[in-house]
Structure 1
Amino acid sequence: MNPVIGLDISKGKSDGQVFFDKGQPFGQSFCFQHNQEGLSQLLDVISNVRIKTEKTPTVILESTGHYHQAVIQFLEEHGILFLVVNPLISHQAKKSSLRKVKTDAVDAYRLCELYYKEEFEDHKQRGVQLLNLRHLTRQFDTLTQMYVQVKLQFQAILDQVFPDYRGIFGDLYSRVSLQLLKQFTTPTDFQAAGESNIAYTIASLCPSRSVRWADEKASLIVVAAANNPFQKVSYTSHLISLTLYIDLLLQYQEHLSHLRSQIDALAEEVEAYQIIQSIPGIGGKIAATILSEIGEIHRFNHAKKLVAFAGIDPIVYASGKFTATSNRITKRGSKKLRHALYLAVLCGLRKTGSKRLREFYDKKRESGKPYRVALIACVNKLLHWIYALLVKQEDFVDLA
């Protein structure tokens, strides 16, 4: 016998079905909650199947984001073998049925049937350290996107209060720029404060810069305030929003800085982090993202599997005498990994980047490949290099 338990995972609960062997379902479907009592019920089902078949059943389930994490952790703690199936595979299997029935119990039943049809590789669990790194890098990206949105909203309000303030500081979102604007806010406030008071405030907010620099900035602000088209703010709501956005921007900067230091500290403990950074054009943030998304390199026994995992393998289409010559990438892998690799290629093609990558890119362009096709070819090549370096535990050697 080859027993299996299919689990259809949803938020807070799961539906299951037991098969003793191919074509031999056992009993009715069962349901359990994702708590200690419910997980104990799952363990009782596993024990019952083990007694009846004299074999420990394999558990098969779909990948469902974070909903299945509680079940997976429980199975790992009890040494139960499990398989996590790509939802694309299970969805295609469901479409093969002529009957349009969609329930959680039926989905669990079909997962069991899929287990006997396909040859699945054992689930290779990722290490806790790299999972922590992945969570932090993804959180960093999420906060960065939110930070960008707040910056855009802040600019929209500033354009209606003090538009000429933009050109005063090299970085509008620097701490001294935001703190100064929070303290005075409107052109009228700046004019009332006077140039000397503004210069003193700037110097106190940025003690690392010279007094002369603070005086120059204060002079520019006074001139900009005098020429500002909005000498009087008609809507007090703009002032409330501006202060709110300044507070949010400062908080986001603090959180992103803290996250960045945590990512760097965690990544420094992994040898592969330094190996990936040895490729010219790849900095700390991109290297940490690539490493965290790939995970342990031994999960892939060939570079082509890593390419497919990133979703940059080509769509192949051929029918009869027709064979497509213009193929797109599948984009069925890790979007975060693809984005990080794309940024790494853009950085690597700069003058200070990788000479080997630049040579490969120029060769593709000279052969008539369009710009984006050549870039994707570089992404593919870069990923092959990363795979080889991580397997061999060697640093990258660029052209002289």
Structure 2
Amino acid sequence: MAFLIAMKANANSHQPSVYRNQNTLIRAIFHKASHPRKVLCVALDYAKQKHLALICDGNGDVLKAPFPVDNNSAGIAFLIEQITATAQRRKIPKDQIFLGGEDEASYVANFTAALRKEGYLVLRVNAYEAKESRENLLASTDSLDLLGIAKTLLARRAQNTSTSQTTNPVYAELRELNRTRRSLVRQKTAASNRIHALADQLFPGFLDLSKSSLTPFTNASLFLMKDRFSAPEIARRRPSALTKTLRTHLVHHPEETASQLITLAQKALPPQPHRTPSLQRSLTATVDLYQCLDRNAHELKIQAALTLATTPYALLTSIPGIGFVLASGLAGELGEPSQLRKLDSLCAYAGIVPRTHQSGGPDSAALQSHPSPRCNHILKDWTVQSSQKIQLYGPPELKDRIKQWNANGQHGIFAGARRYLRLVRTLVLNVIPYLSPEGRAQNPDSAQLAASAQQTWTVLQQKWRAIPGHRQLLLDEDHPIGAWRRVLKEVHGIHLPETL
């Protein structure tokens, strides 16, 4: 598409600008137009049933006053008709037209997708910036909000959506899968907390491994809590029947565990008899909910991993401590590698850099405070989690660096998160995995490179074997990991075995 080509041409320009945060697509449109009057801006104030639209030129002169647009197919046709009529009167080509509104809610996703399908550039505006652009800060109406959106668009302060800046739908799919799974995992945690509250009343100590000898929330634990679960009822069970149940659910040492459970139940303080039925029904329903959430979260994780394997972000799993959950979550938030921002912008977007204030001349020291809350909080979560995992299970050189930062009084996890984003850009843009220091030296000999590659290949196989069809995923030369393996064989003569 024309606007994508313009964006790439603009992105390839290394000429510095004082407007670092201006949208490159809008800048390219203004650059192409002979005059701001030859640019058409359509501001949209989204609503569930009926949007409000305003059409103006690049100077901000209103060409069509605010008018309503239905959130359906007829509304799409009507809006395009109005845009086309206005553009024809002004002789403005389609590639010099752009639309924008505040962050897209779920009920406008199909609306904006239909506009993009018709070949229009649709951008999103930060709601806070649109509010600050309003001339009247004491009142808020749809018309005032619309003017703020239009002013923000004309100031070129807009962001590209994942759909507008790439033709690859994989990253939007990863974003949806991981955000949905993240929500399910949070709901699962809430359900487990409710299970604890109910089980502590029905059978105190059951979910304490040191007391019951049964690992909480395993299949055996959940099975027992779903049916006739209370301290008196567990105490009355025959040891042989309880042992058989535990053995069926693959509990180690079922005889000892059954004896320990019955002894604990006999000593436990039971609930009041009139409360037991309602507590049991509540616990059964909550356990069912927990299992449903757990099953669906697992299925989403598998699907996200299968999708991740087709992208360069799969190579992040070569870093010890980084699994496909963290890698796919990061891939969904960052998007296509060719559109990755510079490192400082990425860190600011992830909310892992402190605010800085410096005044009083060049000799005055800068003061730093807490990071800004205006960031991608989900990306921040994935990035900080990755840094924490690297601190625990990462390669020695990265773990030692985090320890050194902590010893120097720095925030080691945040510093590690910034280092991790730098590593992400390097691996993803160059489509290479993480190698040991010996393997990535300037001129490593063949033995060092082979040993380092074998070590990385072992890490990849150990992580991906939990995914169905992992062998084909790793060996497929159309995927980044398989392509790297082929390059090692063809260029360096290093053959990595298909299996461990």
TM-score by length of 2: 0.72
1:128 offset after TM fit, Å?
1.9
2:477 is matched with which residue?
none
Query: After the TM superposition, which residues 126-205 of structure 1 pair with which residues of structure 2 at under 5 Å, given as runs?
Result: 126=166, 127-166=168-207, 167-204=211-248
Change beyond 3 A, Cα 1:294–1:199: same
Change beyond 3 A, Cα 1:113–1:165: closer
**Among residues 244, 254, 269, which one is paired with 1:214 in the alignment?**
254
Residues of 1 paired with 2:345 and 2:49: CA distance?
33
Change beyond 3 A, Cα 1:169–1:143: farther
Question: What SS does the corresponding residue of 1:29 show, helix, strand or coil?
Answer: strand
Change beyond 3 A, Cα 1:306–1:67: farther
1:34–1:70 contact (8 Å) kept in structure 2: no
Residues of 2 paired with 1:193 and 1:316: CA distance?
65
1:299 is matched with which residue?
339
User: Does residue 1:26 correspond to 2:66, yes or no?
Assistant: no
Change beyond 3 A, Cα 1:323–1:17: farther
2:174–2:332 contact (8 Å) kept in structure 1: yes
1:47 is matched with which residue?
84
Could you give the per-residue CA deviations for residues 229-262 of structure 1, whole angstroms, max 9, x where no partner exists?
2176341322222222222222222222222222
**Among residues 63, 72, 76, which one is paired with 2:112 in the alignment?**
72
After the TM superposition, which of the residue ranges 249-258 and 284-293 deviates more from structure 2?
249-258
Could you give the per-residue CA deviations for residues 197-240 of structure 1, whole angstroms, max 9, x where no partner exists?
21122223x2x456xx2222221122112212217634132222
Residues of 2 paired with 1:187 and 1:113: CA distance?
66
Change beyond 3 A, Cα 1:37–1:325: same
Change beyond 3 A, Cα 1:84–1:221: same
Query: After the TM superposition, which residues 292-371 of structure 1 pair with which residues of structure 2 at under 5 Å, given as runs?
Result: 292-320=332-360, 324-350=366-392, 352-366=393-407, 368-370=408-410
1:293 offset after TM fit, Å?
1.1
Output the amino acid matched with 2:409. Answer: K
**Among residues 417, 425, 446, which one is paired with 1:387 in the alignment?**
425
After the TM superposition, which of the residue ranges 67-76 and 217-226 deviates more from structure 2?
67-76
Residues of 2 paired with 1:237 and 1:209: CA distance?
29
Question: What SS does the corresponding residue of 1:79 show, helix, strand or coil?
Answer: coil
1:7–1:59 contact (8 Å) kept in structure 2: yes
Question: What SS does the corresponding residue of 1:7 show, helix, strand or coil?
Answer: strand
1:84 is matched with which residue?
124
Residues of 2 paired with 1:169 and 1:263: CA distance?
35
Residues of 2 paired with 1:384 and 1:263: CA distance?
23
1:99 offset after TM fit, Å?
6.4
Output the amino acid matched with 1:327. Answer: S
Residues of 2 paired with 1:158 and 1:15: CA distance?
52
Question: What SS does the corresponding residue of 1:27 show, helix, strand or coil?
Answer: strand
1:16–1:109 contact (8 Å) kept in structure 2: no
Could you give the per-residue CA deviations for residues 356-395 of structure 1, whole angstroms, max 9, x where no partner exists?
32232233234x324xx22211111111111121111111
Could you give the per-residue CA deviations for residues 283-323 of structure 1, whole angstroms, max 9, x where no partner exists?
12111111111111222342222222212233222344565
2:434 is matched with which residue?
396
1:310–1:333 contact (8 Å) kept in structure 2: yes
Residues of 2 paired with 1:14 and 1:355: CA distance?
55
Alignment length, in residue pairs?
A: 389
Residues of 1 paired with 2:232 and 2:136: CA distance?
73
After the TM superposition, which of the residue ranges 327-336 and 105-114 deviates more from structure 2?
105-114
Change beyond 3 A, Cα 1:232–1:30: closer
2:455 is matched with which residue?
none
User: Does residue 1:113 correspond to 2:145, yes or no?
Assistant: no
2:498 is matched with which residue?
none
Could you give the per-residue CA deviations for residues 114-144 of structure 1, whole angstroms, max 9, x where no partner exists?
3333476766434322111111111111111
Change beyond 3 A, Cα 1:233–1:120: closer
Residues of 1 paired with 2:181 and 2:154: CA distance?
41
After the TM superposition, which of the residue ranges 171-180 and 116-125 deviates more from structure 2?
116-125
Change beyond 3 A, Cα 1:387–1:324: same
